[in-house]
Amino acid sequence: MPQTTALARRANPYIRLFRAPGARAFTLGNLVARLPMGMFGVSAVLMISGARGSYALAGAVTATGLAATALVAPWTARLVDRYGQARIAVPATAVAVLGSLSLLLCVHRGAPDWTLFASYAATATTPNTGGMSRARWAHLHRRDPAALHTANAFEQAADELCFMLGPVAAAFLCSSLFPEAGTLTGAVLLMGGVLLFAAQRATEPPVAPRTATAKSPVRERGFAPLLAVFLATGAVFGSLEVVTIAYADGLGHRPAAGALLALQAAGSCASGLVYGSVRPASRVSRRLVGCVAAMAVLMGLPLLAARATDSLAALAVALLLAGAATAPTMVTGMTLVQHRTPRGQLNEGMTLAVTAILGGIAAGSALGGQVIEQVGAEMGYLVPVCSAAVALVVSAAVHGRYAAPPRR
């Protein structure tokens, strides 16, 4: 028996993770459903700008969809927690898919601009597929913190992979087939993936009884500071994207911006998988401070590369290294969200975290654009540095609040 235990401990944690009954099936469905998340925005911009000749209109439509998602997603997640993943995710996805198809038809038929905004806003009912998957892992490994750590790392790597492949797939489909191909393919994948995911009822977390006194996870001790950390981290992502595009454009290599950002995501994906394969020694709250500190330091590398050289190769290496700290930060932050959220509200808690990230991305993009206009793209890399520094200050200052046991 001791030898068997020792061998199990030495086994690859990801192999052990997917030995759980039903894990591979729900993961496959979730990955299929999650890939379109990286496709829809790019597909909409290419489709609308190509048909209407206006990037301003395309950007406004996608921004409206992002704002609507920030408002609607927590309510959708609350319904998922209250009534179950299968009962809510399937109809909510059907509404979102109809919104995407409506957008496609309105663009194709030359409908008035307001119909584009209304159609894309309807896609806000898309459930948080990553959050639902994390909730299943949390249920399966509720008594095994090491396995849950590995599961969260895998989910973060999957997020990075989908947002690496999604835009590339969308651009290829829209340019090589027809402008609506990206949106149409994304809608089919989303609906099919959610149906496959929802069919795996054996791994679906049970619906917890909701009392009349149940409150939003935001009111749990230490949850609001965590959202502030996610907001600042989102600003890192949003500003890094805008500044990198502007910097590459300034050197006359705008097409290379996609490859540069993909390298940053690749660094994050790889570090997330490595991070999930080791068993962390320190408490989760202390780990978060350490991960955010590493992110704040590494975000200085793109700034140094941009200021010291005019080399895209140097910037590529800097972005690859800078991405190495983002996945561990997200993995640890999501683990803390799971700790701070009542068990019957996991989907709502994780969706609030994602909403904070989306808000940070929007704010970081806007701030990065303003800095670029004022002092140039090189100095624009100060925005992700400062955003990471804000995340570090908040995480360190309120460390004790989310380190304490949550109120139940």
| Predicted confidence (pLDDT) per residue in 182-232, tens digit | 889 999 999 999 999 988 888 888 876 665 556 677 677 778 888 889 999
The answer to whether 165 touches 35, Cβ cutoff 8 Å, is yes
Q: Do both 174 and 254 map to the same domain?
A: no
* Residue 5 pLDDT: 42
Tokens for 283? 């408490």
Q: Which of 158, 177, 207 delimits the end of a domain?
A: 207
Residue 4 lies in a domain: no
Say what the pLDDT of residue 299 is: 92
Residue type, 300: G
pLDDT at 97: 93
- Assigned domain for 1 exists: no
> Do both 164 and 238 map to the same domain?
no
| pLDDT at position 94 | 94
Would you say residue 6 lies in a domain?
no
Residue 171: pLDDT band (50, 70, 90) is confident
Residues 397 and 307 in one domain: yes
Q: 218 and 153 share a domain? A: no
Q: What is the mean pLDDT of the chain?
A: 82
**Residues 118, 244 share a domain:** no
Domain boundary among 182, 207, 232: 207
Q: 230 and 377, same structural domain?
A: yes
- Say if residue 16's pLDDT is above 90: no
Among 138-147, 224-233, 385-394, the minimum mean pLDDT is found in: 138-147
In a domain, 66, yes or no: yes
pLDDT for the residue numbered 260:
81
Q: Which domain holds residue 367?
A: 212-408
Mean pLDDT score, 147-158: 83
- Tell me what the mean pLDDT of segment 72-98 comes to: 88
Helices 181-198 and 85-109 pack at an angle, to 10 degrees, of 170
Cβ count near 112 (within 10 Å): 9
CATH of residue 120: 1.20.1250.20
Question: 363 lies in a domain?
Answer: yes
Please give the pLDDT value at position 407: 44
pTM: predicted TM-score of the whole model, two decimal places: 0.78
Cα–Cα distance measured from residue 153 to residue 168, given in angstroms and rounded to the nearest whole number: 23
The DSSP call for residue 11 is: S
- Span 252-284, pLDDT tens digits: 776 677 678 778 888 888 888 888 777 766 677
Q: Between the ranges 45-49, 233-237, 272-276, where is the mean pLDDT highest?
A: 233-237
| Residues 253 and 106 occupy one common structural domain | no
Over residues 363-390, the pLDDT tens digits come to 887 788 788 878 888 888 998 999 999 9
Contact 340, 220 (CB under 8 A): yes
Instruction: Please state, in angstroms and rounded to a whole number, the distance separating the CA atoms of residues 77 and 72.
Output: 9
pLDDT value of residue 2: 44
**pLDDT exceeds cutoff 50 at 342:** yes
Domain contains 112: yes
Q: Quote the pLDDT of residue 211.
A: 55
Asked whether the beta carbons of 337 and 228 are under 8 A apart, the reply is no
Q: So what's the pLDDT on residue 8?
A: 46
Counting the structural domains of the chain, the total is 2
Residue 158 domain flag: yes
Q: Give me the residue label for tokens 């469905």.
A: 29
Residues 224 and 320 in one domain: yes
Tell me the pLDDT band of 102, cut-offs 50, 70 and 90.
Answer: very high
Residue 302 lies in a domain: yes
Domain end, chosen from 165, 189, 207, is at 207
* CA distances, 2 to each of 8, 9, 16, 147, 242 (Å): 10, 11, 18, 20, 54
Same domain for 175 and 33: yes
Predicted local distance difference test score (pLDDT) of residue 362: 76
Same domain, 280 and 266: yes
CA atoms within 13 A on the CB side of 342: 20
Same domain, residue pair 273 and 390:
yes
Place 402 in a pLDDT band, splitting at 50, 70 and 90.
Answer: low
Residue percentage of the chain with pLDDT more than 90:
16
Q: Do 202 and 58 share a structural domain?
A: yes
What does the alpha-carbon distance between residue 337 and residue 315 come to, in Å, rounded to a whole number?
Answer: 33
Q: How far apart are CA 129 and CA 190, in angstroms?
A: 10
In the numeric block, the tokens 């640890």 are attached to: 332
43/171 Cα distance (integer angstroms): 7
CA separation for the pair 215, 206 (Å, rounded): 19
Instruction: State how far the alpha carbon of 90 is from the alpha carbons of 96, 136, 383, in Å.
Output: 10, 16, 39
